[in-house]
Structure 1
Amino acid sequence: MQFSDHNKIVRIDHFFSKSKVTQLIKFGIVGCSGLVIDFAITYFFKEYLGLNRFIANALGFGAAVTNNYFIHRFWTFKNNEKRVAQQFLKFLMVSIIGLGLNTLCIYTIQQWGHLSFYVAKFIAIVLVFIWNYTVNAQITFKKNEV
């Protein structure tokens, strides 16, 4: 199936190809591993070392982002970009924006929808997952056409 828009043809089946679906599943798996790392690091620093909860949270977030970047680079997107630091900074920026979007979604859903925090958080996670995957696939890990 194709749609034409100003002489540009968009193939719907490209977005749902087996490789894209596999990539999306891998992205989700890595995201879940990041969630575990984030919670584990945060818990360790907050509960065992007695650090401030916000500092512990930042350390957990940083560890998860770093872990997720490298797994996405080598497994999810099989990317061999030579400018690793520049690529990591793109990934970090997408992640920080995603964190902001997540917080904004939770706040908005709770204020306007009067839903519980965890329902709002679940909806926010789904929405931000779409943001994170799309931006990282199209910008951070985009393969250079030669």
Structure 2
Amino acid sequence: MATTAASKPPLVQKLRGLTGEVVKFGIVGLSGVVINFAVFWVCINGLGLASLRSNIAATVIAIATNYLGYRYWLYRDRDAASRKREITLFLVFSGIGMLIETGVLAFTVYVLHLDSHYEQLGAKVIGLAVATVFRFVSYRTWVFTALPEPEPAAVASTADAAHAAHTADGQELAAQAELMLVTEQIRYAKAE
């Protein structure tokens, strides 16, 4: 069966879908950022932890809350056949994102010697921005994979099978109708 232009969504429709996905990703991510910065601030100021330890604790808590948002809101329609694989990949890519974010913070504090709380927050913003781009690409590409689209041959064979079943049902129905007509004709003939 030939692929028609109607079976492929136009570029505008794909971009519209991607825009919606980016907005939802941003909403979930923004909630994670709020949690991340709040925990980071409490760890640095309230608990007196070092900046890297505070960053790791804050990021781990944000990762956990973000997973719930991504899985049950943004990517709820994606393939969830293998949750173990999904969670493993999510944690791996989130961990890489955390390393990116923590690396930027470590570079700022230990190499550039910018270690006031506000300078650390600024470094955290930059690291988080870079890590967010990495996470978006990796989550949508490898973690929350889209359900595979049916192949045109499979769609055609399914349609052909449905048509054949419909035709067979129609032939069977026609045979039953003819049998009923013959029976009625015999009954009328006997009544006369």
Instruction: Flag the structure with larger Rg.
Output: 2
TM over 0.5: yes
Root mean square deviation, CA, Å:
3.7
TM-score (norm 2): 0.53
Match for residue 143 of structure 2 among 121, 135, 140: 140
1:22-33 correspondence runs (5 A): 22-33=20-31
Aligned residue pairs: how many? Answer: 132
How far 1:100 moved relative to its partner?
2.3
Structure 1 residue aligned with 2:97 = 98
What does residue 52 of structure 1 align with? 49
Over 3 Å counting, the alpha-carbon distance change for 1:144 and 1:94 in structure 2 is same
Q: List runs of 5+ in structure 1 lacking aligned partners.
A: 1-10
Residue in 2 that maps onto 1:86:
85
CA distance 1:57–1:125, shift in 2 (3 Å): closer
Aligned-residue identity in percent: 22
Please list, as runs of the form range in 1=range in 2, the aligned pairs for 1:50-129 lying within 5 A after superposition: 50=47, 52-53=49-50, 54-78=52-76, 79=78, 81-104=80-103, 107=107, 124-129=127-132
Describe the shift of the 1:15–1:89 C-alpha distance in structure 2 as closer, same or farther (beyond 3 A).
farther
Please report the TM-score for the alignment, with normalisation by the length of structure 1: 0.67
- The amino acid of 1:22's aligned partner reads G
Q: 1:130 to 1:14 in 2, by over 3 A?
A: farther
Higher relative contact order (CA 8 A, sep 6+): 2
